[in-house]
């Protein structure tokens, strides 16, 4: 239990989670909130190995029912989740913090409304604005609180989104490296990913590649200048320094 910005963080349950990538532990977290809309917010930490020494791999992942359950090709979410789980399993330690923030925090029904607007010709950011939402309504303070609760002070962050790195650094978590977690675009996701790159600052190459997982995971040279490649992989990077390279 730990006091966070919005309330008390509780470990609700800890259980084994056998997956196709190996045996993980699943830790359920709940945090009290006082926004008048819901009594608590929840997240799941999917953990492998010992995490308190060095800098484990970390993926902060937002729920995507359409991609992860229905197999939608409109986004890259399911591919990113599988890429992260596979990378953590290959290394033998790391964690995914799975947050219930569907559609960049607007919820499933609003996400479907945004899709409908995109079908009419506007992009994902414009659709959010048309529905009265910000570009991205997510809050990453809960993952930061979970990391503190687990005793994790340094991470290698699997993300294309610099906002996640900044949020963790602001909460006192050292970002040793930001590792690309890019899934090659499909004809259905290309426009969406282009908008994320151009309007939301996501670090994406948008290269179509049949073996996108192996070509993009760990491709630090696509993010950092060649002269800084060793610095990126060997540590010492804070989020502010990483952001300057984007």
Q: Catalogue the active-site residues.
A: 136, 138
The CA-to-CA distance between both ends of the chain, in Å, stands at 36
Look up residue 183 and give its two tokens: 């899934």
Give the other-Cβ count within 10 Å of 155's Cβ: 25
Q: Say which residues have a Cβ less than 8 Å from residue 132's Cβ, sequence separation at least 6.
A: none
By DSSP bridging, strand 174-179 and strand 8-19 are unpaired
**Sequence-ordered strand ranges (E) for 49-111:** 57-62, 94-99
Residue 57 pairs with which residues in a beta bridge?
94, 156
For residue 142, report the phi and psi dihedrals to the nearest 5 degrees. -65, -45
How far apart, in whole angstroms, are the C-alpha atoms of residue 128 and residue 150? 34
CA-based Rg of the chain, rounded to a whole angstrom?
Answer: 18
Q: Answer yes or no: are the C-beta atoms of 207 and 181 closer than 8 Å.
A: no
Degrees to nearest 5, angle at CA 88 with 76 and 47: 100
């Amino acid at each position: 239990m730990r006091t966070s910005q919005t309330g008390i963080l509780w470990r609700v349950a800890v259980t084994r989670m056998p997956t196709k990538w190996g045996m993980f532990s699943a830790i359920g977290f709940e945090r009290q909130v006082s926004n008048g809309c819901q009594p608590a917010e929840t997240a799941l930490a999917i953990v492998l190995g010992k995490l308190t020494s060095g800098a484990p791999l970390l993926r902060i992942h937002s729920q995507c029912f359409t991609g992860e359950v229905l197999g939608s090709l409109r986004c890259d979410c399911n591919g990113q989740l599988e890429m992260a789980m596979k990378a953590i399993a290959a290394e033998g330690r790391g964690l995914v913090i799975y947050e219930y923030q569907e559609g960049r925090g607007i919820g499933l029904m609003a996400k479907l409304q945004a899709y409908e607007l995109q079908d009419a010709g506007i992009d994902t950011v414009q659709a959010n604005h048309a529905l009265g939402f910000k570009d991205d309504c997510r809050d990453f303070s809960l993952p930061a609180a979970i990391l503190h609760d687990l005793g994790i002070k340094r991470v290698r962050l699997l993300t294309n989104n610099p906002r996640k790195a900044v949020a963790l650094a602001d909460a006192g978590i050292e970002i040793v490296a930001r590792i690309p977690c890019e899934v090659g675009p499909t004809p259905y996701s290309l426009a969406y990913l282009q908008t994320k790159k151009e309007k939301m600052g996501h670090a994406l190459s948008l290269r179509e590649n049949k073996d996108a997982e192996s070509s993009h995971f760990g491709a630090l040279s696509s993010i950092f200048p060649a002269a800084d490649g060793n610095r990126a992989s060997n540590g010492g990077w804070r989020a502010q320094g990483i952001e300057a390279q984007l």
